[in-house]
Structure 1
Amino acid sequence: MAEFDTTRRTVMAGLAAAAAVDALPGHAAPRRPMPKGFLWGAAISAHQSEGNDVHSDSWLLENLPETVYKNPSGDACDSYHLYERDFAIARAVGLNCYRFGIEWARIEPEPGRFSQAELDHYVRVLASCRAHGLLPIVTFNHFTVPLWFARRGGWEVPDSADLFARFCERATRALGDQIGMASPFNEANIHRLAALFRTAATPEYIGKRRTMLAAAARATNAPAFSSILFSEPESIDVHLLDAQKKGYQAIKAGPGDFPVGVTLTTQAIQPVGENSKAPAMEQMLYGDWWDAVNSSDFVGVQVYTRMRFDAKGMLPPPTGAAVTAAGYEYYPQALGEIIRFAARKTSKPIFVTESGIATDDDTRRVAWLDASIAEVEKCQQDGIDVKSYIYWSLLDNFEWTQGYGQHFGMVSVDPHTFARTVKPSARHFARLIQERR
């Protein structure tokens, strides 16, 4: 209890110190309340925040001499031990849900051997989340897989869906009565987005990627080593769709009675000029994943920017357009476009499960929050029942191949002491939420 009290005082002091954000331009006027049950949240993933995920495929790739990762994940934010601090911050901001992952590589570090200690750990995490007044929204797989799974061919192997369903069943058996919502995968079509981006990648990057994967295969004596962020859709898509179906069934079998959906990476795709490649790129991004949505309980849209295509391919951001620290065009209007797109594609409930900006200028994050929430409100005024706004991310964390150089968080994390420092944007988010309750 003493640790929690200290954390709470630290959080509240940080929020009070952030009060200067009131003077920032673009502060929204009070709005009408959001619909009853609307979820305000923040998202995080296990590998990106917990640290020391040593049995995962990503840990191996990050630490190879031939890696394309700018930094290894290392201790990350140490959320494995400090999750209560994160929940306390989320609650102090006024959030009523928290989206996070459980780590397959921790729970099943060897094939068929499930760690009761790790399952018990996540039981405590879920109980703490609820004790802080937050609905736990659980992702069963956020890109990373156990090293043994990658070594045998990852999602390229036909029985990969059965192995994933086995994990989902065992994890749900231990955790299901505490889960509030769930998805088998984070951004189930991420491999398709990665392939889309590779259409504009340099030959040098493609070569480095191949060299890294070859080194991983040698290091593990695995001729079929495969990792989702670097796999071709035609090799894995059919098995991932099968895994979504079987994982959904395993999770729905309980215990617990909660919605299980599909989260998708849903960047706005826009055509430019005649004979634009945009329709083909849209098909490349989604494939059959909207069919999977219609066989589940909800869709989570995860939106960061737009991508424009002419007859030759992907275009850079327009001249003079603002660009985020992640290299994306600053385009919060993409959120409204995608919510409307999702409403045309499915009758399932629509949740915004990720929306965020990489920046070291927190005033831009404040402006992003204003603009993004305004997009949600416009969609609601048009009759679309959007059920959440979940910001990525609560914490500055490990951003995959980009390492620690990109900061999406409303809270910074000292890499040595793991001290959390609340940014003014968190105070602003708290006010936006309060105005709409």
Structure 2
Amino acid sequence: MRRRPVLGLVVALLAGAVSAVGAPPAQAEEPFLWGVATSGYQSEGSAPDSNWRRYEQSGTSSIEEPYRNAVDFRHRYAEDIANARALGARVFRFGVEWARVEPREDVVDQAELAYYDDVVDHVLAAGMRPMITLDHWVYPGWVADQGGWDTQKTVDDWLANARRVVDRYKGKGAIWITVNEPTVYVQNEIENGGIQAWQAPWMQSRLVTVHRRAYDLIHQLDPGAMVSSNAAYIPGVQAALDATFVDHVRDKLDFVGVDYYYGASLDNLSAVHGVNGEFWKIDPQPDGIYYVLRYYARKFPDLPLYVVESGMPTDDGRARPDGYTRADHLRDHVYWVQRAKADGMDVIGYNYWSITDNYEWGSYRPRFGLYTVDARSDPALNRRPTDGVAAYRSLVAGDGVPAGYRPVKAPAVCSLVDGLDSCLRPAPYPGPLAPLG
């Protein structure tokens, strides 16, 4: 997660916008994909040399505390996957870290590939589909040394690694995410010194290129696989952000992947707390997810929609002052996903971020996990269930919230998630629900 205001970035990226072509293919319907998510650097521990390891060690502006060993997913993945299975999840999202697989140029670490082999085997044995992220903002240190995303060579090196990973895990029912939240990726690279602000259009163009080429590569090696990227939805500016990436890969998407964390409305401008990374102070706006889905259903009427990330942080695991719980957050957001489906939007999946607490790109203070882990002071890194565990298990078993459910958080007064459209055309409340299945 971890995203800050991006208006300056929008201007920089629009200056280098690339043209889009074609129309997306329709996808076959399948059972609703309840999932959980995690990522490599944030959770694995035992961090290899990478851009983010260097940012952490050098103490760039986004780093608030040391990495330690994250939550040691690298050695505890079997437990996390078993916990996901017990929820009834059908999808387990994780990343295959390029920096771990290829620690030095042209040197492939077979032991680390064997580790990912076992992760995939555990996911499949648990009856879930792997959702594999190829790039979750992390690249090897040797790529940083050659200029990172400021050099065309990184495109070829990235694609060579993608071919290696896809060829290894083809035929296993994987859902592929090429690049996680591309616009936020660029923003983070600027903030941490990976690129300069004026280089943003070139990095964004290269991310467009690797997605487009990876899409074709995956369909060549793993026919029938679903491929996408996930967009971090930022209320009020999403159309401008889409113009820098999503609009230029629209013919290379099998579904729209979207991440929704916070909204904006006349009675809720608390997202301003994201400026300082204090995400736990943001007042959740569950109905915003409906308008996000409606925005993309209108923009891409032939593509199904998948909520790749959605979650709520607490302040170091403490209860929120307003009493709103992770269970409330889950049920309220799923209610609005069901409303979207009842209104004809083709929503095919929902991943909760995340299965455990993790290193939120410089800090352990924001706690998103269904299972909480005290990475600072618990050397055993015990996974302790929050109230979200029972709530999510119930949602999966019941195909969503039951008929008659009313969200704890009332709809916003004049939602601005989709600009004036979400204010002028609010979803009737209460309204019909559709089971997700």
Q: Supply the distance in 1 between the matched residues of 2:340 and 2:329 (Cα, whole angstroms).
A: 17
> Offset at 1:317?
5.0
Per the alignment, in what secondary structure is the counterpart of residue 177 of structure 1? coil
Per the alignment, in what secondary structure is the counterpart of residue 367 of structure 1? helix
Among candidates 201, 226, 229, match of residue 262 of structure 1: 229
Per the alignment, in what secondary structure is the counterpart of residue 65 of structure 2? coil
Q: Supply the distance in 2 between the matched residues of 1:316 and 1:371 (Cα, whole angstroms).
A: 18
Among candidates 251, 257, 262, match of residue 300 of structure 1: 257
Among candidates 150, 155, 169, match of residue 161 of structure 1: 155
> Offset at 1:86?
0.3
Change in Cα spacing, 1:144 to 1:288, as seen in structure 2 (3 Å) is closer
Q: Supply the distance in 1 between the matched residues of 2:355 and 2:270 (Cα, whole angstroms).
A: 29
Change in Cα spacing, 1:379 to 1:163, as seen in structure 2 (3 Å) is same
Unaligned runs of 5+ in 2: 1-28, 400-436
Q: Supply the distance in 2 between the matched residues of 1:268 and 1:385 (Cα, whole angstroms).
A: 21
Among candidates 194, 197, 200, match of residue 233 of structure 1: 200
Change in Cα spacing, 1:262 to 1:54, as seen in structure 2 (3 Å) is same
Identity percentage over the alignment? 27
Change in Cα spacing, 1:161 to 1:179, as seen in structure 2 (3 Å) is farther
> Offset at 1:316?
5.6
Contact 2:35 2:93 in 1 (8 A): yes
Q: Following superposition of structure 1 onto structure 2, how do residues 172-251 of structure 1 map, counting pairs within 5 Å?
A: 172-191=166-185, 209=191, 213=193, 226=194, 233-251=200-218
What's the Cα RMSD here? 2.7
Q: Supply the distance in 1 between the matched residues of 2:107 and 2:212 (Cα, whole angstroms).
A: 23
Tell me which residue corresponds to 2:344. 383
Tell me which residue corresponds to 1:352. 307
Tell me which residue corresponds to 2:15. none
Tell me which residue corresponds to 2:371. 411
Q: Supply the distance in 2 between the matched residues of 1:431 and 1:93 (Cα, whole angstroms).
A: 8
Amino acid at match of 1:372: H
Q: Supply the distance in 2 between the matched residues of 1:112 and 1:384 (Cα, whole angstroms).
A: 45
Moved more, 371-380 or 281-290: 281-290
Structure having the higher helix fraction is 1
Per the alignment, in what secondary structure is the counterpart of residue 86 of structure 1? helix
Q: Supply the distance in 2 between the matched residues of 1:109 and 1:194 (Cα, whole angstroms).
A: 22
Change in Cα spacing, 1:324 to 1:59, as seen in structure 2 (3 Å) is closer
Deviations 1:283-335 (A, max 9, x none): 146424233133221121101112579xxxxx66599xxx9744434212221
Per the alignment, in what secondary structure is the counterpart of residue 89 of structure 1? helix
Tell me which residue corresponds to 1:55. 49
Q: Supply the distance in 1 between the matched residues of 2:59 and 2:182 (Cα, whole angstroms).
A: 29
Amino acid at match of 1:434: A
Tell me which residue corresponds to 1:6. none
Moved more, 165-174 or 300-309: 300-309
Tell me which residue corresponds to 1:361. 319
Among candidates 285, 307, 314, match of residue 331 of structure 1: 285
TM-score by length of 1: 0.76
Tell me which residue corresponds to 2:25. none
> Offset at 1:410?
0.8
> Offset at 1:179?
4.6
TM-score by length of 2: 0.76
Amino acid at match of 1:113: V
> Offset at 1:177?
2.9
Amino acid at match of 1:361: A
Tell me which residue corresponds to 2:90. 96
Runs of 4+ in structure 1 over 3 Å off: 65-68, 191-195, 315-319, 323-329
Q: Supply the distance in 1 between the matched residues of 2:248 and 2:60 (Cα, whole angstroms).
A: 38
Tell me which residue corresponds to 1:24. none
Q: Supply the distance in 1 between the matched residues of 2:382 and 2:228 (Cα, whole angstroms).
A: 34
Amino acid at match of 2:37: A
Q: Supply the distance in 2 between the matched residues of 1:344 and 1:253 (Cα, whole angstroms).
A: 30
Amino acid at match of 1:384: M
Tell me which residue corresponds to 1:127. 121
> Offset at 1:48?
0.6
Aligned length: 358
Change in Cα spacing, 1:381 to 1:138, as seen in structure 2 (3 Å) is same
> Offset at 1:120?
1.7
Q: Supply the distance in 2 between the matched residues of 1:388 and 1:355 (Cα, whole angstroms).
A: 11
Amino acid at match of 2:227: V
Deviations 1:124-183 (A, max 9, x none): 110111101111111011011111112211112123222111110011122223352111
Amino acid at match of 1:430: R
Q: Supply the distance in 1 between the matched residues of 2:280 and 2:349 (Cα, whole angstroms).
A: 24
